[in-house]
Structure 1
Amino acid sequence: MNKDLIEEGKMLKLLEKLVNIDSGSYCKTGVDKIGEILSAYYVELGYDIQKCEQDAVGDHLIITHPKGKQASILIIAHMDTVFEKGTAAIRPFTMKEGRAYGPGVIDMKASLVTVLYALRYLKEIGSNAYQNVHLILNSDEEIGSVSSRKLIEEAAKGKSYALIMEPARRDGSVVTERRGSGRFTIEVHGKAAHSGIEPEKGRSAIEELAHKIVKLHDLNDHEHGISVNVGMIEGGNAVNTVSDTAIGHVDVRVSTAEQAEEVEHQIEEVCSSSDVKGTEIELTGDMRRPPMLKDKKIEALFHIVRDVGADLGIDVRDTKTGGGSDASFTAAMGIPTIDGLGPIGGNAHSDKEYLEIASLTERTLLLANVVERLTSEETK
């Protein structure tokens, strides 16, 4: 296969255009603009585009080829980022010393470019493997894929493989195992009172939330992969007022499905009664993503990816991570899944986020070859 057919300059030009568009999860206009730009490229390649319209977030896109009615490969990439509107103007796309910078450059706008050019490459070399994909570009991955999860799970039915385009790790490793994750919100209601004149008449929501935070953090069992963290709190109106409201936002990570069920039950139990008399607690949320466990199917798929990489002179290794992604949904359905197939970079979700430019064409070629190898496996 001819790497020269993958034009890095054109890829970087498209990447610059995408990075310079604000597309935070709730920036619907920007995300939809990303979708419009990419849709035009896919239509040019002969794909059909189905738009799944959304109110609060960007529209999800389902991209298929008319000659690929029984496509066996599901590819998932997301168009949203974590950055607020206006970030692109403050910190636009730049390149320096072999790296590209900008909001969402590695998570995962570089992957959006990689997928497009991998499929274009396959078409240009005359391989029909580019027709054997069912592509989902969703718009709410960074906030838990709340509206796109059913879309992903429906698309995954009957698929032989799922390729998830989160970025590769800094050392180039792909991901074969992820922890499950959940988000909960604890809202406490108390009674306000002046803390200097009649504090005894108040019922402090902040005090109640403090009790709950201690109990929730006691659920941590890092040795066995359980993490419960109250990462954000809100509450109170004035320093001299007993607070009548307080809110805690809880992030949960687990390593097994059994842990997910048990931790959710424990959180519900902690919040079932008040420690501060006269306060009331409202708990919302759930476990959003199941764990992605490295089973024999995932192991076998990784071996294919590794072998394809070896043929290209790329040393592909695998790893596990605590972060969540849409890979958890397909893996939980028993679909052989590989994540982290995007380009190499780091510092995602920060103002130092970067892409290793050399990996852009390298990982495009890897993805194209993986799609072709998996397609040939299906026809044996």
Structure 2
Amino acid sequence: MRKRLLLACAFAATFAAQAQKLTATEKKIVATVQRNMPQSEKLLVQVVNINSGTLNLKGVREVGDIFRKEFDAIGFKTSWVDMPAEVQRAGHLVAQRKGKKGKKLFLIGHLDTVFELDMPFSPYTQLNDSTATGQGVNDMKGGDVVMLAALQALQQNGLLDNTTITAYFTGDEERKGTGDAARADFIAKAKESDVALAFESAAGLHSVATARRGSSGWQLKTYGQAAHSSGIFKPNVGYGAVFEAARILDEFREKLSQEQYLTFNPGLIVGGSEVKYDAAKAHGEAVGKTNIISPEVDVAGDLRFLTEQQKEDARTKMRDIVAHSLPNTRAEITFTDGLPGMPPTPGNQKLATLADQVSRDLGFGPVTAGDPGSRGAGDVSIVAQYLDCLDGLGSSGKGAHAPGETMNTKEFPLLVQRAALMIYRLTR
């Protein structure tokens, strides 16, 4: 008992010493966040319980309307950016205020999730005293609420006056609409800012992202000579489309798989006597028999990278592998751009240093930049070439993009406090 009491006293003394590093105003911000937490948690439950899969345009708009009312209430001017009908996406929510104090901030969230209407629905559920589950609770409705709750605490203390902040919530981060219109306004408003803070899910209380990998797609087609299987490998017949596809994929693995931050995944393969592949629906059908050499194979995959140079170098190597076909076969590969990479920069690291200092001042401990290889692509990467960026400021948890996705509810209020003080210090 005496040992536990001494440890408790030591912890209290340490926290008190850390708290002395906060100004009186910052202590008020923290207290406001804590006081508002029941309201913030209620809002989180409300938005998680609305399906907003990217293709559920009504659901995305419904979540956007909820956040719009919250931003209207704290003095932001809100608007909805509609997409052209052919893009088939709900659009984006923008909340802005303009002033002359401190840095101009661009805060990034998204309203959609990967869970479409035809998938089993998982409502918000508190599993235990530190864990909740629900569709998008972590990626990224939890992060959206972290951002909003931080701004609410600042507004309630009169600390948003004369600041320039744009909060931008895209409606199709998980399945970005095609065409320039999908992100034209997003890029334009980012260019008006000095710093971008993105509230995608955090790797934990002690990690942020100064870099993220980009993503792109590729489609491989191989062709062979249809013939009876007894003739395979003979000079007049050749190896067929399946062996040619297997050769190429295995050479990709052998020659590119050890490069840091570079990954590629063949996510769908269809081959046979008759092949149908619909890229828009990510759906394939094939008909074939074991005694017929397949004349065609389609392979769809992704390619992830840290820099544009790494992406282009990988594509060059892949094209070269594809060009050296087996006898009586041929192959072709095409690439499609997706999200660019977000390389680490000194400016990004400076923001990570700010996150670290705020965390230490709050008594939460150090914050470091996480491994870029552990993160996929995100909207922040689209604007990383224009301004300093930091990501991973949202809620923490596990299992994003999968049934049973969770959020750490004990870290949730601490992440709001950290975000609020970061925004406060950047806008002074």
**Paired residue for 2:70?**
41
Matched, 1:217 2:253: yes
Aligned ranges 1:158-177 → 2 under 5 Å? 158-170=192-204, 172-177=206-211
Change (3 A) 1:196 1:20: farther
Matches within 5 A, 1:294-373: 295-318=345-368, 319-322=370-373, 323=375, 324-333=377-386, 335-373=387-425
Amino acid at match of 1:208: E
The alpha carbon displacement at 1:213 in A equals: 1.3
**CA distance 1:211–1:287, shift in 2 (3 Å):** farther
Task: Report the Cα offset of residue 267 of structure 1.
Answer: 2.6
With the length of structure 1 as denominator, give the TM-score of the two structures: 0.86
Partner of 2:42: 13
* Cα distance in 2 between the residues matched to 1:29 and 1:194: 52
**Aligned 1:233-248 pairs, distance under 5 A:** 233-236=269-272, 237-240=286-289, 242-248=293-299
Aligned equivalents of 2:56 and 2:271: distance in 1? 27
Measured against aligned partners, the alpha-carbon deviations of 1:142-201 in whole angstroms (never above 9, x if no partner) come to 235756444333222142211011111135311122233322222445676676999998
Q: Tell me the number of residue pairs that the alignment of Structure 1 and Structure 2 aligns.
A: 373
Of 315, 320, 323, 1:269 maps to 320
2:326, 2:63 → 1: CA distance? Answer: 49
SS at match of 1:15: helix
What do the CA deviations read for 1:222-269 (whole angstroms, capped 9, x no partner)? 353332332332333234154454322222233443222211222333
CA shift, 1:304, in A, is 1.5
Paired residue type of 2:270? E
Cα distance, 1:310 vs. partner? 1.8
Tell me how far 1:68 sits from its aligned partner. Answer: 7.3
Q: CA RMSD in A?
A: 3.0
Sequence identity percentage: 27
Cα distance in 1 for residues equivalent to 2:324 and 2:102: 52
Aligned 8 A contact 2:248 2:321 in 1 = yes
Contact in 2 for aligned 1:207/1:276 (Cα 8 Å): no
Identify the residue that residue 282 of structure 2 maps to in structure 1.
none
1:283 equivalent in alignment to 2:319: no
- Name the amino acid aligned to 2:299: G
What residue identity is the alignment partner of 1:329? I
> TM-score with structure 2 length normalisation?
0.77
2:8 corresponds in structure 1 to none
Alignment of 1:57-76 (within 5 A): 57-65=89-97, 67=99, 72-76=104-108
Shift of residue 108, structure 1, vs aligned partner: 0.5
Distance 2:301 2:170 in 1: 25
Letter in 1 for 2:255: L
Q: Secondary structure at the match of 1:81?
A: coil
Inter-CA distance 228–282: structure 2 relative to 1 (3 Å threshold): closer
Give the Cα–Cα distance (whole angstroms) in 2 for the partners of residues 21 and 193 of structure 1: 53
Q: 1:155 to 1:203 in 2, by over 3 A?
A: farther
- Work out the CA distance in 1 between the residues paired with 2:223 and 2:319: 17
Question: Which has more radius of gyration?
Answer: 2
Q: Which moved more, 1:315-324 or 1:118-127?
A: 315-324
In structure 2, the CA distance between the partners of 1:220 and 1:291, relative to structure 1 (3 Å rule), is farther
Paired position in structure 2 for 1:123: 155
Residue 220 of structure 2 corresponds to: 186
CA separation in 2, counterparts of 1:342 and 1:15? 13
Q: Is the 1:271–1:281 Cα contact (8 Å) retained in structure 2?
A: yes
Residue range with higher mean Cα deviation, 201-210 or 338-347: 201-210
Partner amino acid for 2:160? N
Structure 2 residue 127 is matched with structure 1 residue 96:
yes
What secondary structure sits across from 1:36 in the alignment?
helix
Q: Distance in 1 between matches of 2:107 and 2:216?
A: 24
Greater mean deviation of Cα atoms: 62-71 or 281-290: 62-71
1:94/1:183 CA distance change after superposition, 3 Å? same
SS state at 1:224 partner: coil
